[in-house]
Amino acid sequence: MWIQSSIKHVLTQGDSLLVAWLTTIQDQGVYALAANYGSLIARMLFQPLEESSRNLFSKLLSAENKNKASVTSAAQILKTITKLYLLLSLFFAVLGPPFAPVALNLVAGRRWGQSAAGDVLACFCYYIPLLAINGITESFVQSVATPQELRGQGAWMFSFSLGFGVAGYAFVRSLAMGAQGLVWANVVNMALRIAWSSVFIRRYFKGYGVIPGWVEVAPSSMLVAVAVAVAAAVRGQGGLPAVAELGLVRQMVMGVGAGGVMVIAW
């Protein structure tokens, strides 16, 4: 577990190395500001739940208690948390990007809110849902995997870090996306880690004859339709003004109204 945690820490800090190697001093400051504010949500909201889930899965699926009933219960818990994360992800993806510069303007000042940091923080809103899903899936893997399987995960994570480096170079240098490119490279890396954990989880449940039924965790079609409509509205499509074109009071009113509509649809 110590080795596993060390590898994860190195991979997590890999973006800092890429920032130093590939970007300018200005891009480094912009990315650091956006990443620090963006990761606050993951640390405050998701990390406590992930740690509690890891302890719960470890006790529920320990060698003494492991049977089909306990595995079925663990599958239901994992589905419930995943569904919650997917619902929250809709809020981040719909409301986060247009309102991120507004929020940064309030907490860091107009200078930063109108800089490239606002655009980087907007990209980070698409990365946060992947952080959440990866956190809960890897918590499950670490709770039930054997030492040999954990070593295999470490090897795969190392290979994903190489993919992260390639993606970072492509986005930052080849496509000249600057700090935003680094966020999208993180998205690629996190998606690969989620894919590996998903394959492991599917194989684990299949070994006990449990079919979780992952279709049930998807948001309802009505909520998705409302989310698409709200996303179009706050981004200034269909003849409506974009959030950035409004004053602070109207921005806050639009944010509360858009969030309220999605909560009702939920």
User: pLDDT band for position 93 (50/70/90)?
Assistant: confident
Rounded Cα distance, 58 and 143, in Å: 5
Cβ atoms 131, 85 nearer than 8 A: no
Hey, how many other C-beta atoms are within 10 angstroms of the C-beta on 121?
30
Determine the longest span between alpha carbons in the chain, in angstroms. Answer: 62
Percent of the chain with pLDDT over 70: 82
pLDDT of residue 194: 92
Rounded Cα distance, 220 and 4, in Å: 36
239 Rama class: left (phi>0) / alpha (psi -120 to 50) / beta: left
Give 10-44 pLDDT, tens digit per residue: 666 666 676 677 777 777 788 888 778 877 877 78
Average pLDDT of the segment spanning 185-206: 90
Rounded Cα distance, 161 and 10, in Å: 9
Give 94-152 pLDDT, tens digit per residue: 888 888 877 777 777 776 666 777 888 888 888 988 988 998 998 899 888 888 888 88
Hey, how many other C-beta atoms are within 10 angstroms of the C-beta on 228?
12
Rounded Cα distance, 223 and 84, in Å: 13
Rounded Cα distance, 91 and 110, in Å: 24
For tokens 């219960």, name the residue. Answer: 73
Rounded Cα distance, 112 and 98, in Å: 15
Average pLDDT of the segment spanning 60-84: 84
Amino acid at residue number 44: M
Cβ atoms 139, 54 nearer than 8 A: yes
Q: Is residue 153 scored above 70 in pLDDT?
A: yes
Give 156-184 pLDDT, tens digit per residue: 887 887 788 888 888 888 887 887 888 88
Give 222-231 pLDDT, tens digit per residue: 888 888 888 8
CB within 8 Å of 54: residues ≥ 6 apart: 139, 140, 142, 143
Total residue count of the chain as it appears in this document: 266
Hey, how many other C-beta atoms are within 10 angstroms of the C-beta on 69?
11
Rounded Cα distance, 241 and 233, in Å: 8
Rounded Cα distance, 147 and 11, in Å: 20
Percent of the chain with pLDDT over 90: 6
